[in-house]
A and B are shown apart, each in its own frame.
Chain A
Amino acid sequence: MALKRRSIKDSRGESTLFRVRAMVGFALILLGLGVLVGRYQYLQVQRHDEFALRSENNRVKPRAIPPARGLIYDRSGVLLADNVPAFRLEVVPEQVPDMKAMLSDIRDVVPLGDDDIETFRKQLKQNRRFDSVPLKLHLTEDEIDRFAINRWRFPGVDVVPYLTRRYPYGPLFAHVVGYVGRIDADDMNRLDADRYKGTSHVGRSGLERSYEDILHGEPGYELVEVNADGRVQRVLETHAPTPGKNLYLSIDVRVQKAASDAFDGRPGSTVAIDPRNGQVLAMVSVPSFDPNLFVNGISRADYTTYTTDADKPLLNRALKSAYQPGSTVKPFLALGGLELGVRRPEDTVLSTGEFCIPGQQRCYRDDTRGGDGTVNMVRAIEKSTNTYFYKLALDMGIDRLASWMGSLGFGKKTGIDLIGETEGILPSREWKATRSKYGWFPGETVIAGIGQGYWNVTTLQLAHATATLAGHGTPYAPRLVMATSAVKEHAVPLPNPPSGPSLIRKPNDWNVVNQGMEAVVYGAGGTAMQAGVFKGFPLTVAGKSGTAERFSRRSNDYDTNKNLAYLATRHRAWFIGYTPTEAPRIAVAAMLESGAWGAADAGPIVRKIMDAWLVSTGGAVPPSKTPEGPVTPIGVPDVPDDTPVATPADMPALPAESSSTAAPDDGGNP
């Protein structure tokens, strides 16, 4: 059957049929391949530009290079704020398949605080998906190792080197230089996102904050090639960042150290200013804190220790604590009396131990029982005769007093290059009107004459006023930073012109007040003379002590308790001074929160600062050594002291390298 069937098969016809079908089939195949080529032509020619761009966007990602923060040096080039390499954990959001799972899983590898997570989340919202966001800063070596082993589990997460801030002098400059802190959610709202891309820290306090703009620099960027996991393969193009400018403080680290040591841990503050230009030569607030703890997030325990300390180490007393200045206002008042024509130098006042406003019952005391007898202005300053100044204040009247003292900077901000200074209180009708429904009483004028009553001044204000006085009345806003320098360039001084014309119109007025203040130091009745504060100091010093009562007098009895520890709980000790009186170059104000007597307790602080200052300027080593001994010069070329404003040539050689290094690149090709 089958055989028969095969025999009748038309094999030639089949062959022809097949030939036709094969050719039709081949034609269809060519058509199919043609369609395919057409599609490729469409993709590769027509839409090539679009896909070429998408391919580039796939592989090339811009990455911000944060600028290296400017360094901070002291007057002679000693490093106060440095950048040191550290490692942090960074996340590129678009490469993390499941952010929630990643955040919970990674905690087993690298411990994360709730703060870390919260900041991370907020930063996440503000960043573009391919910008990396720091998750945890300052990784320990142990954490780095553990993450390296587990890295494969966390695509889009990497350990990245960065520069972190270090303050080699720790607490010594904490209140001046301040510190940087990690950028948090609030900062994100306030800062220019483009300028801070890739930057993890921002100035939080002190100069780090007030000079943030100059210290920060301008970020650069690089184009990197990444693979599908987002791992950087190589760097294609780099646009280097511009590092922040370096700051040069007018403070000499040795003077600062001496000033700090002089407090011996007792709460207080001191500020030294160069009267010729407003440059701050020392600024200390005791107690202080370690700024390094704040840089990468302070632990709760450390922070609690600081905030619960009764002495408030985080408070910059020089700037933010205002107290009654006591007798330290007297020289300023005396100058006002002369300038306003209320007193002549030779005018005398009889001090009987008590001064009563004519027609009133209330009387005001002298410090010395029985009074100082007949005193002229010089004697009144020397002996700090209250009656003289009660009367002077009354004769000036509160309006003229307030106006004059206000011109010396009391009751307003000094304009120092730090943020957050307090204005204090300048007693005046205007001030009282805002606080009380009662009018001004003459008695209030009387006690204002001796720095009591409503008065509140900061150490900075007092130092500023002292410097203005020492500089023959020419006011300068205090300045901590005297120069800035871009990387590999000479330092450029920051100009600080006088903030106004001289307050003293008659040169002799100054001479009289100066004479009185010299008498405080050298006269037989001077408080500083009696305490022997400036014994052996080679330059002529003018000064004035102040002992302000922290509590108002409750009875008419004289307090006979002479126990110093007891008095210290009741008194605040002040001392102001400047030297050399022929041409003053340093003016100092010091305050001890709990000091028994101004001259005996605050005076030595001023003395020690002047000693250290003298050494730092290359002056004679004082013959009578302070217990700590003068700080030995550390062999750094010094800024010539008599130049009012440092010129570039005066600046020490800049350690440019240390700040020119940008944040190192991670994992690129060598």
Chain B
Amino acid sequence: MIDALQIRLQRLLRRIITRPRIDLPLAFGLFVLACVGLMTLYSASGGNMAMITGQAARFVMGGFLLLLISRIPPSVLRSWTPWLYAGSVSLLLVVAALGEVRSGSKRWLDLGVLSFQPSELLKLTMPMMVAWYLHPRQLPPSWKDIIVVGILIAIPAGLIAEQPDLGTALLVSAAGAFALFLSGMRWWKIGSLLAAVGAMVPVAWHFLHEYQRNRVRTLLDPESDPLGNGWHIIQSQIAVGSGGMFGKGWQHGTQSRLDFLPEHTTDFIFAVFSEEFGLVGVIGLMLLYAFIIGRCLWIAMEARDTYSRLLAGAIGMSFFVYVFVNGGMVAGMLPVVGVPMPLVSYGGTSAVSLLTGFGVLMSIYANRKVHD
């Protein structure tokens, strides 16, 4: 029995490595992105090899997960979806009850050997759930379906926002919303929904924590508190702006090397990139992101069924939210929220969860429509 299992596992592993059923252009794009990420990290961390190897190890692990998940057919994923969604939402509840508090927010679940953020799981299970729900429905979705989807999004997003982790809550809701958008929701419905959300903004302001309000305030006028709340925004803009057209050169970014730039290996690593590679580097990286997102959407279009289409499209589009929110934050355009620059920022959970998402895409690609 165990022997047989072992043999099957070995066969599977061999097949994963020797005959990967993946989209090579997408894989190549991700590989290049990971390399850029490591290179930037090398400079931002001041050549800290422990960080580089740690990050590379996570990329390898994420890559392996990608290959593994790419073997799971979307139909299987679909059948697991309600359970995965329910499971991850329960974990959020567990976190809310007895999570570990780190630097003022309750996000982490300590499992002894490793601790992780269950909210990361939602980044994947959320679009899965929305896609699962919409899959059998008549599309474009009716108001009833939209409301159900809204509730499916609101429950975990509310729990995450309560931790508080506005960045992840935003990403999670965006992933669900994109699935709804791609399902063909009528434009007038989208319009009225956005208007309703807009009307809610002043109400939401009341529910924000004081530090979150301050982040918005400092965004509007960072020079009012240059050494306190404004420091991040100011130093980040100085880093970006001083990079100029062609940048200061790899490892020559003074803002990060001399520690003026806070969080310069994680949330603000893109400022280091912009400082060292300039506008040319920024445009290059944006093109790479656009290519990856475009490729995701192409895979979505080629997908066999509604579930796969919505899921692949939502994953691809939420990738954009990462880039836009982080890039906007670094450039002083958006308030400071904890959203990493995908596959460039240092940090394990996000890299692994992102690559897992791309594993789902690869699986969808492997099971695409067969053209006659």
The interface of chain A, by Cβ under 8 A from chain B, is: 2, 5-6, 8-9, 11, 14-15, 17-19, 21-23, 25-26, 29-30, 32-33, 36-37, 39-41, 43-45, 47-48, 50-52, 54-56, 58-59, 225-229, 233
Contact = CB atoms under 8 A, between A and B. Distances in A.
- Contact-residue size bin, chain B (C-beta under 8 Å from the other chain): 35 or more
A95 to B, nearest CB: 11
B241 A25 contact: no
Given A14-B306, A18-B184, A43 B258 contact: no
Contacts, number: 146
Given A29-B290, A30-B290, A45-B279, A18 B309 contact: yes
Given A25-B317, A48-B244, 12 more contacts: A18-B309, A18-B313, A21-B183, A29-B317, A29-B320, A36-B327, A40-B279, A44-B243, A44-B244, A45-B279, A55-B254, A58-B254
Interface in B44-94: none
A44 B245 contact: yes
A229 B301 CA distance: 52
B239 interface: yes
A23 B259 CA distance: 42
Contacts of A51: 237-238, 240-242
Contacts of B245: 44-45, 48
Contact of B258 (A8, A40, A59): A59
B184 A233 contact: no
Contacts of B20: none
Given A5-B138, A36-B331, A58-B254, A21 B286 contact: no
Interface in B225-261: 235, 237-245, 254-255, 257-260
Rank and list the top 9 A-B pairs by shortest CB-CB distance, nearest first: A51-B241, A55-B242, A227-B258, A228-B259, A17-B184, A43-B241, A44-B279, A51-B242, A48-B244
A594 to B, nearest CB: 67
Interface stretch (B104-112, B196-204, B292-300, B345-353): B292-300
A592 to B, nearest CB: 67
B89 to A, nearest CB: 23
Contacts of B239: 55
Given A32-B324, A43-B237, A44-B245, A14 B259 contact: no
B136 A229 contact: no
A38 to B, nearest CB: 10
B328 A44 contact: no
- Output the residue of B258, B300, B313 with the most chain A CB within 10 A: B258
A23 to B, nearest CB: 8
Nearest to A6: B136
A228 to B, nearest CB: 4
Given A36-B286, A55-B242, A26 B182 contact: no
Contact of B286 (A11, A17, A37, A225): A37
Contact of A25 (B181, B242, B290): B181
A50 to B, nearest CB: 7
Nearest to A57: B238
22 contacts: A9-B136, A14-B184, A17-B139, A21-B181, A25-B313, A25-B317, A29-B320, A36-B286, A36-B323, A36-B328, A39-B333, A40-B282, A44-B245, A44-B282, A45-B279, A51-B241, A55-B238, A55-B255, A58-B255, A59-B254, A228-B258, A228-B260
